[in-house]
Structure 1
Amino acid sequence: MTDHDDDEYYDDPYEDRYLPGGSPEDAAAIAARWQPPTDSSHAEKLAFMREAAETLPPHMRDAAIAQIEALPTAEEIDAMNAQASALQEATAGLADRRYDGWDQARSTRFTIGFDGEPVELEFTQVAVAARSAQALSAALVESWNAAVANRDEAAVEINREVARITGESR
Structure 2
Amino acid sequence: MIDRVGYRKKRVEVWLDPYRYRFDEGHQLVTSFRAFLDGGWFGNKLASGYAHRYLTYSHTDFVLATFVEDFGFIGFMTFIFLVLLLLFRSFYLIQKVQDPFGFYLGAGILIVLGTQFIINMFVVTGIFPITGISLPFVSYGGSSILIVLISLGILVNITRKENLGL
Question: TM-score, length-normalised on structure 2?
Answer: 0.29
- Structure with the greater alpha carbon radius of gyration: 1
Higher helix share: 2
Higher strand share: 1
Question: TM-score, length-normalised on structure 1?
Answer: 0.28
